[in-house]
Structure 1
Amino acid sequence: MLTKLSGLYVVLATLLLSACAGEDRQDANTADQSLLIRNALLFDGKGTAPMAGDLRVQKGVIVAIGDLTLLDGEKAWDAEGLALAPGFIDPHSHHNSSLGEKPAPASVLAQGITTITSGVDGSTDVSIPEMFAEFEKSPAAINLAAFGPHNNYRTAVMGDDFRRTATAQEIDAMTVLLQADLDAGALGLATGVEYEPALYSDTSELVELAKAAAKVGGRYTSHIRSEDINFYQALDEFITVARDAKIPANLSHIKLAMANLWGQSSKVVAMLNAARAEGLDITADIYPYDGWQSTMQILLPERDLEDRGAYEYALDSIALPSTIILTLYEPNPSYVGKTLAEIADIEGVSPVDMLMKMVQETSSGNLREKIIGRNIGAADINNFMQWPFTSISSDGRTDDRHPRGQGAFPRVLAKYVREKGVLSLPEAIRKMTSLSAESLGLAGRGVLEPGYAADLVLFDPATIMDHGTFTDPVQYATGVKAVWVNGTLVWQEGKATANRPGKILRRVQKNESHD
């Protein structure tokens, strides 16, 4: 959801409309030093079987892999046979919102994540140029990429008059705002059409904006219009945008968030495969939890806050009261951590009455609230995760009330690889590295090969584990021994170093070389 709008977007929109419409494990390790990581089990990020060997880094780049000899004056790190992989790339993250305060967040580094992607769900707190400028002034320990946020453009152009389709002139104004972000290096266009104000857009608006991104080699990523009642219509719209705009498109945090849809993931995968068979570059990402986090109003697709029948339907068919957990409720913080069923029991009212009261109270008072809805089927998570074109994401925030912010990537490696065998270890790593880099359009990242950036994670496949739960979410993962970003050590044995080597990863256009 859009919480704060950058003044730059507002000013630009106003002008546009008025004009016309190891062995030596030292925290000081930097990219300037030659580093040899020895005795590692190397996972190349492409899904192939690992090989034992060494890896050399110079000036932030991988320069050699194999049976290598230590050079004079070179630092060495004994990997002790542990897994060395490309740093994990998070294609759908909200961790950037706290990077100014926590530039080396344990929530991220303890997972082995070296790159996060902002602007997803179609919203950012500031414009992309402002975000990038702030980052470059005060770099973080991790890399940052971003999409152009559709919700920001719509708010800047339409203001409070957003509960309608946009005019051609307004779409033109949004396109110019998007172009400014693309010029700054945004990866493409991101939409969150289940949220205001994009909820009121039509498909043609999305297509026209996506065409602008496609012209410069950008991509499209979308939190689709519905993940429950109107899922199939929303999926059709997503595919239509990809087809009509001729743009690579990624379906954000794929899920069937409604008990009545459980078991239909095979049908969804068949639809996605059919789209790819016609030549569309369709991908998805997923987080490994049975619960989403959003606002209570997401349970009311029509946003009629007075319609009791809509509340009754939501609690009967979308998410049961016992599966809805309050994670933020400004009118009464004591509700946080309790289910809707528990809160209704405390207050002596029905869950329907309780939900109506809370939605109306927060809406009328412009007060913040959030819920987790644990209504995603386990079999569907497995099926979507196994689709070859689904990468792993967190959709997380730093120290958030949802455990995904602290544990998504280790959870896949622990539960879905080691415990359940849903994925092999090489395939899981591919879904965390090269597949994400490809779907985002990031060149020179996500693979262990000479010439690629030395974003690296060293971890123990036998012990890596997430610890956050829905009742106690802020627990950091364990099992990641070291993380390097652009060749510089940023995480070692459970602690962040003082290094801040992160870079802005901008869209690479045709005929441009990668960083």
Structure 2
Amino acid sequence: MKLVPRIFAVTLVLICGPLAQAETYDLIVRHGRVVDGTGNPAYFADVAVTNGHIAAIGRIDGDAKREIDAKGLIVAPGFIDVHTHADEVAEMPYAENFIRMGVTTIVVGNCGASELNIGNLFKNIEATNAALNVASLIGHGTVRGKAMGGSFMRPPTPQELDKMEGYVDQAMRDGAVGLSTGLIYLPGTFAKTEEIIELAKVASKYDGIYASHMRDEGTGIYKSLNELFRIAREAHIRAEVSHIKLSGNSVWGQTEKVIAAIENARAEGLDITQDEYSYDASSTGMSQLVPDTAREGGHEKFRERIKDPEQKSAIIAKMKASLKEHGRDNYSYAFIAEYKHDRSLQGLDITEAAKAKRGSDSLDDQIEMILEIESNGGASGVFHGINEKDLQIFMSQPNTMIACDSGLREFGKGVPHPRGYGNNPRVLARYVRETHTLKLEDAIRKMTTLPAQTFQFKDRGQLREGNWADLTIFDPEKVQDNATYKEPHHYPSGIPFVIVNGVAVIKNGELTGERPGKALRHTPSIQ
């Protein structure tokens, strides 16, 4: 019997459906104009977020748990402020004055003053859950004061220098992004360049940065720049000029010369950058009007010196000489921001304060007023001494970052510098929209990718798939700083959404109460 193969017909049933199922995201920002932080032209796109990261940019057909309609708005990376004095962020974790400016990452520990134990700083920030991301420098003044027991007018001993190097080394291991100096402040003002070089070498081992409030931003600025260049050269470290400016009308108009000095250093192979705030006034302690040597050792020593007629006369002579050197004949440029001993003087300049308290605004009475303030514990001040044209020229330089040089603000307290409420919005309103000093894309770059690259923040500062979802969404026609020198306690307008690590901290212009920020530890890579 012959076997015949049987052929079985097999019918394949295809179940037709969509080629790919729509992906679900945590958040989609739709219809916005994306400025990605690189300086490239803006473009229209949606931005999707999943698990705190940017998942997609482009035309997104998927759905999401939450959506933001950004029609008419700019979608930018969250702003990064590399020069702040918000060191108490663990105690004030909402950092509202910063996040309302669109700032999602800050660097603390500037001007030589920081927490000594950077590891504990980060642990406290994580325990508190700050609303924004926080990185820190290690302050030279802090380690000098700890190692030397005070602000002594002398070099450290070899043993003290070893201690200082140990503090810096530990800070870098704990995640500090670099070393900062404040060379107009005690005790840093007494440090020799060689001391700073040795400490900068320690930070350099971990590829940290050296950020300096230089010794002089007026007539001695070129000598100060040369010191910074020498430290960068001999320590083999990247260097940052903090809040670049020409302070005092005797040096106004010398921006091109300053820029040439920096560019020559860069041409030599040094990695030099700078940051700047968008105001024509600075802010620091009123004590800076008093000679360093008079303040060495603290307020008790200072009080003893001004009780001695001969020492007091020498102090007054130095103050008058300094005033003349800076092209001024009185202290009307210096305003009292916060003075706990007598709050009635807050908001007044020194001439007004002297008239109110002493009945005379003569130069001698102005100086007596300053000495009285210092003897009573000191005050913070706002100092008008920057030329607007100089400011714009520095701002337009490709290596200038935008940074506010402010601390955290208690709303309504004192008469502080308005930069703590309006720095970034002021750049977007005045210097982009009004004066056209910057193009929008360039301004955003100075607030995002440039600081992220300079301070080595990985996966931040640019709208790119895979990066952390730090976003600032604003109306380019309505963004506005509202804080003024006379009335600083006003939040900016025109920034309806700020997102940190994928979570909205500002929603429809209101504080959400969310605190999704992270401690940004610099990853040590010993060289």
What is the TM-score normalised by the length of structure 1? Answer: 0.89
1:116 aligns with 2:106: yes
Q: Write the letter of the residue equivalent to 1:265.
A: T
SS of equivalent residue, structure 1 residue 120: coil
Equivalent residues of 1:85, 1:457 under 8 A apart = yes
- Name the counterpart of 1:21: none
- Name the counterpart of 2:460: 445
1:382 aligns with 2:385: no
1:55 aligns with 2:47: yes
- Name the counterpart of 1:262: 252
- Name the counterpart of 1:43: 35
- Name the counterpart of 1:457: 472
Cα distance in 2, alignment partners of residues 96 and 169 from structure 1: 29
Cα distance in 1, alignment partners of residues 35 and 526 from structure 2: 29
Distance 1:69 1:126, change over 3 A: same
SS of equivalent residue, structure 2 residue 466: coil
- Name the counterpart of 1:402: 417
Aligned pair partner of 1:307 in 295, 307, 315: 315
- Name the counterpart of 1:34: 26
Aligned pair partner of 1:202 in 183, 188, 192: 192
CA drift at 1:357: 2.1
Matches within 5 A, 1:269-284: 269-284=259-274
CA drift at 1:407: 0.5
CA drift at 1:470: 0.9
- Name the counterpart of 1:336: 346
Matches within 5 A, 1:478-493: 478-493=493-508
Aligned pair partner of 1:325 in 324, 332, 335: 335
- Name the counterpart of 1:151: 141
Cα distance in 2, alignment partners of residues 116 and 500 from structure 1: 14
Distance 1:423 1:453, change over 3 A: same
CA drift at 1:511: 10
Cα distance in 2, alignment partners of residues 223 and 300 from structure 1: 18
Higher mean alpha-carbon deviation, 184-193 vs 487-496, is at 487-496
Equivalent residues of 1:391, 1:436 under 8 A apart = yes
Alignment deviations for residues 81-122 of structure 1 (CA, whole Å, 9 cap, x no partner): 31000000000012342x344322321111100001100011
Distance 1:477 1:269, change over 3 A: same
Equivalent residues of 2:25, 2:48 under 8 A apart = no
Between the two proteins, what is the percent identity of the paired residues?
37
CA drift at 1:219: 0.9
Distance 1:145 1:300, change over 3 A: same
- Measured on the aligned residues, the alpha-carbon RMSD in Å equals 1.9
Aligned pair partner of 1:352 in 331, 354, 363: 363
Cα distance in 2, alignment partners of residues 208 and 511 from structure 1: 16
SS of equivalent residue, structure 1 residue 169: helix
Alignment deviations for residues 29-85 of structure 1 (CA, whole Å, 9 cap, x no partner): xxx9621111010001011100001111111111211111123x5432211131000
Equivalent residues of 1:87, 1:455 under 8 A apart = yes
Q: Which runs of 5+ in 1 are unaligned?
A: 1-31
CA drift at 1:301: 5.1
Higher mean alpha-carbon deviation, 168-177 vs 149-158, is at 168-177
Cα distance in 1, alignment partners of residues 486 and 293 from structure 2: 29
Q: Which runs of 5+ in 2 are unaligned?
A: 1-23, 295-311, 411-415
SS of equivalent residue, structure 1 residue 313: helix
Cα distance in 1, alignment partners of residues 214 and 366 from structure 2: 24
Equivalent residues of 2:287, 2:374 under 8 A apart = no
Alignment deviations for residues 212-243 of structure 1 (CA, whole Å, 9 cap, x no partner): 11111111101111122422211111111111
Cα distance in 2, alignment partners of residues 37 and 363 from structure 1: 52
Aligned pair partner of 1:76 in 64, 67, 71: 67
Distance 1:303 1:255, change over 3 A: farther
Equivalent residues of 1:106, 1:476 under 8 A apart = no
Alignment deviations for residues 222-273 of structure 1 (CA, whole Å, 9 cap, x no partner): 1111122422211111111111111111000001111100000110000000
Aligned pair partner of 2:132 in 135, 138, 142: 142
Alignment deviations for residues 141-178 of structure 1 (CA, whole Å, 9 cap, x no partner): 10000001111100111013622112232111101001
Aligned pair partner of 2:288 in 298, 312, 319: 298
- Name the counterpart of 1:416: 431
Q: Write the letter of the residue equivalent to 1:503.
A: K
Cα distance in 1, alignment partners of residues 219 and 344 from structure 2: 31
SS of equivalent residue, structure 1 residue 322: coil
Equivalent residues of 1:40, 1:83 under 8 A apart = yes
Cα distance in 2, alignment partners of residues 383 and 151 from structure 1: 31
CA drift at 1:499: 1.4
Q: Write the letter of the residue equivalent to 2:479.
A: I
- Name the counterpart of 2:84: 93
Equivalent residues of 1:311, 1:352 under 8 A apart = no
SS of equivalent residue, structure 1 residue 330: coil
Cα distance in 2, alignment partners of residues 487 and 40 from structure 1: 17
Q: Which has the larger radius of gyration?
A: 2
- Name the counterpart of 1:372: 382
SS of equivalent residue, structure 2 residue 253: coil
Equivalent residues of 1:188, 1:219 under 8 A apart = yes
- Name the counterpart of 2:56: 64
Distance 1:362 1:158, change over 3 A: farther
Aligned pair partner of 1:235 in 209, 215, 225: 225
SS of equivalent residue, structure 2 residue 332: helix
Equivalent residues of 2:112, 2:138 under 8 A apart = yes
Distance 1:223 1:321, change over 3 A: same
Q: Write the letter of the residue equivalent to 1:240.
A: R
